[in-house]
């Protein structure tokens, strides 16, 4: 009876979804020679890979927040299916980087990490505690008094001290956990504004305050989070509303303070809050750019208003940031975060999560076009994963957001009901023992909340390793399983900043010629003679 039920459901599924049973395999893949040739091409490419042992003039770090390996796989398929392909054969741009490692993501005090402790690791080179930012693991969460004297600096600080320009691009609030570890020191990631610090003992500064008053030399800051920089009674220019719970009560207009600082130093600066203003910014005439496009986080790419009244994409922000930063002859450090991958996963909304990966992939492609592999180290990684996975045995090319096309003779579900290929270990949409029949449900809709095995208000992070993709000078140093705090040490060593500033007896590549500069050649020859 169960087999008959499954067979009937399979027939109905095929009819509704207008599919044919069996895998969707491109014809050329049925020829064994296709796979032999493909493997030989890959082998030739790998054998021809050369290490770039020169100094990295520039470093660009892309952080896919929550972008675990399963998310990368699903996003790859999603991207391919958006282009009318089966999807599995698709490659995200950063997956073609020649160097690959893994990062262990645990916090000092947690097996499964959060985005603050991990950010401290991959930006400051020191593992931290859960929910703490830019401080050593001697600082317990929310302990402001213990924080004093236990601050740690970041790759942004080291790069700025070396005379480089620095920038931050994120689709979250600029005061959120991941970007905040670049410039702030806080025993609590949620102390984003002074309204979040009522009753806190000690003299700790909120994160927004630290961004504006303690880090006035950051050339580019682009993201969301206006509310923590605005006066308590200020009306938001976009929404026309006032957020009494988050806007500042200390009488400081931090956006105005940012502009006044630049004016006092005779720096060309611009503050923008919508796409039209952003598009009008001329990088050639801009020393400092502050863009705050939402009161809180920026919009999902699927929902982004692309008009002048809306906001720029992560690729557009990356482009503008590089245009401004690359004017510095000493080079630059740029942090770019695809933050909303994480937010969508927490709400078990995989279509939005995967689309955010594709949007960040476009930003990576933009950066690749604008820089040269010989003098720019590019690192793409994640802070942590999610309890998100790809299940069942769907046929090739099956919609990654759809239902598993069933094979009743082999692996049909025991209850005869359909289920989605993508599934969460915990989260908000739990069936409480009675699975929903999804036959007539559009699971591909951006707002469809996918099911989870354990009921929780928000889906949680995962604890497994995340990938590190790298190309450029010293990228080959990512080659095995590393502790996450290893990442900024490689970036610093490659670019000769921080404690590695004097460990720089490597040549500097000339991008124009693609060869070692003449000065470096002479220097190396002298060393050889000696």
Q: Which of 93, 115, 385, 495 is catalytic?
A: 115
Q: What is the 3-state secondary structure (H, E, C) of 123-191?
A: HHCCCCCCCCECECCCCCCCCHHHHCCCECCCHHHHHHHCCCEEEEEEEEECCCHHHHCCCCCECCCCC
Any idea what DSSP says for residue 69?
A: H
Direct distance between the N- and C-terminal alpha carbons of the chain, in angstroms, rounded to an integer: 86
Any idea what DSSP says for residue 52?
A: -
Residues 173 and 196: beta-carbon distance below 8 Å: no
Judge residue 284's burial from the number of C-beta atoms within 10 Å of its C-beta, 0-12 exposed, 13-18 middle, 19 or more buried: exposed
**Cα–Cα dist 153/210, whole Å:** 13
Q: Is 342 annotated as a binding-site member?
A: yes
Closest among 172, 181, 61 to 116, alpha carbons compared = 181
**Cα–Cα dist 278/271, whole Å:** 9
Q: Is 383 annotated as a binding-site member?
A: yes
Q: Is 337 annotated as a binding-site member?
A: yes
Q: Is 461 annotated as a binding-site member?
A: yes
User: Torsion angle of alpha carbons 436, 442, 448, 449, nearest 10°?
Assistant: 20
Residues 26 and 86: beta-carbon distance below 8 Å: yes
**Cα–Cα dist 284/158, whole Å:** 25
Q: What is the 3-state secondary structure (H, E, C) of 472-507?
A: CCCHHHCCCEEECCHHHHHHHHHHCCHHHCCCCCCC
Judge residue 4's burial from the number of C-beta atoms within 10 Å of its C-beta, 0-12 exposed, 13-18 middle, 19 or more buried: exposed
Phi-psi region of 84 (alpha: psi -120 to 50; beta: other; left: phi over 0): left
Residues 231 and 248: beta-carbon distance below 8 Å: yes
CA-CA-CA-CA torsion sign (132, 136, 137, 142):
negative
**Cα–Cα dist 437/512, whole Å:** 61
**H or E stretch including 350?**
helix 350-370
Q: Is 178 annotated as a binding-site member?
A: yes
**Cα–Cα dist 236/234, whole Å:** 6
Is 115 one of the annotated active-site residues of the chain? yes
**Cα–Cα dist 338/345, whole Å:** 13
Neighbouring C-beta atoms of residue 8, cutoff 10 Å: 12
Q: Is 489 annotated as a binding-site member?
A: no
Residue with tokens 């959120």: 176
Burial 487-502 (b: 16+ CB within 10 A, else e): bbbbbbbbbbbbebee
**Cα–Cα dist 258/404, whole Å:** 52
Three-state DSSP class for residue 413: coil
Q: Is 65 annotated as a binding-site member?
A: yes
Binding residues for Zn(2+) are 65, 342, 346, 383-384, 461
Binding residues for Mg(2+) are 65, 176, 178, 337
Binding residues are 65, 176, 178, 337, 342, 346, 383-384, 461
Residues known to be catalytic: 115
């Amino acid at each position: 009876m169960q087999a008959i039920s499954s067979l009937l459901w399979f027939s109905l599924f095929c009819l509704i979804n207008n599919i044919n049973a069996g895998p969707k395999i491109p014809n050329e893949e049925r020829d064994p020679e296709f796979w032999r040739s493909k493997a030989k091409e890959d082998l030739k490419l790998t054998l021809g890979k050369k290490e770039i042992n020169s100094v990295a003039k520039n470093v660009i770090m892309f952080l896919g927040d929550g972008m675990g390996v399963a998310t990368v796989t699903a996003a790859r398929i999603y991207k391919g299916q958006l282009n009318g392909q089966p999807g599995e054969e698709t490659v995200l741009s950063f997956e073609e980087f020649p160097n690959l490692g893994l990062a262990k993501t645990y916090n000092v005090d947690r097996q499964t990490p959060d985005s603050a402790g991990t950010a401290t690791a991959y930006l400051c080179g020191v593992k931290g505690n859960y929910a703490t930012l830019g401080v050593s693991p001697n600082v317990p969460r929310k302990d402001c008094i213990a924080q004093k004297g236990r601050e740690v600096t970041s790759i942004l600080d080291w790069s700025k001290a070396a005379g480089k320009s620095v920038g931050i691009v994120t689709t979250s609030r600029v005061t959120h956990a991941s970007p905040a570890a670049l410039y702030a020191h806080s025993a609590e990631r949620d102390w984003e504004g002074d309204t979040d610090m009522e009753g806190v003992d000690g003299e700790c500064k909120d994160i927004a305050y630290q961004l504006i008053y303690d880090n006035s030399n950051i050339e580019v800051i682009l993201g969301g989070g206006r509310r923590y920089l605005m006066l308590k009674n200020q009306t938001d220019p976009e929404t026309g509303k006032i957020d009494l719970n988050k806007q500042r009560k200390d009488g400081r207009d931090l956006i105005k303070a940012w502009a006044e600082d630049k004016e006092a130093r005779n720096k060309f600066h611009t503050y923008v809050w919508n796409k039209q203003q952003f598009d009008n910014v001329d990088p050639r005439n801009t020393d400092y750019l502050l863009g705050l496009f939402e009161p809180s986080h920026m919009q999902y790419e699927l929902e982004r208003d692309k008009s002048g009244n809306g906001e720029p994409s992560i690729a557009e922000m990356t482009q503008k940031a590089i245009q401004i930063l690359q004017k510095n002859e000493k080079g630059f450090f740029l942090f770019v975060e695809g933050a909303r991958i994480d937010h969508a996963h927490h709400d078990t909304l995989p279509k939005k999560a995967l689309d955010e990966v594709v949007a960040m992939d476009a930003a990576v492609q933009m950066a690749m076009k604008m820089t040269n592999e010989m003098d720019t180290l590019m690192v793409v990684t994640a802070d942590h994963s999610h309890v998100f996975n790809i299940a069942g045995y769907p046929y090739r090319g099956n919609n990654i957001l759809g239902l598993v096309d069933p094979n009743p003779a082999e692996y049909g579900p025991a209850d005869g009901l359909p289920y989605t290929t993508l599934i969460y270990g915990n989260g908000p949409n739990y069936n409480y023992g009675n699975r929903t029949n999804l036959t007539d449900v559009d699971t591909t809709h951006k707002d469809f909340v996918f099911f989870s095995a354990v009921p929780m208000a928000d889906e949680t992070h995962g604890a497994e390793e995340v990938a590190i993709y790298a190309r450029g000078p010293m990228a080959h140093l990512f080659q095995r399983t590393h502790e996450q705090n290893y990442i900024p040490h490689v970036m610093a060593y490659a670019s000769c900043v921080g404690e590695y500033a004097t460990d720089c007896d490597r040549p500097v590549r000339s991008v124009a010629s693609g060869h070692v500069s003449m000065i470096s050649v002479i220097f190396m020859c002298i060393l050889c003679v000696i």
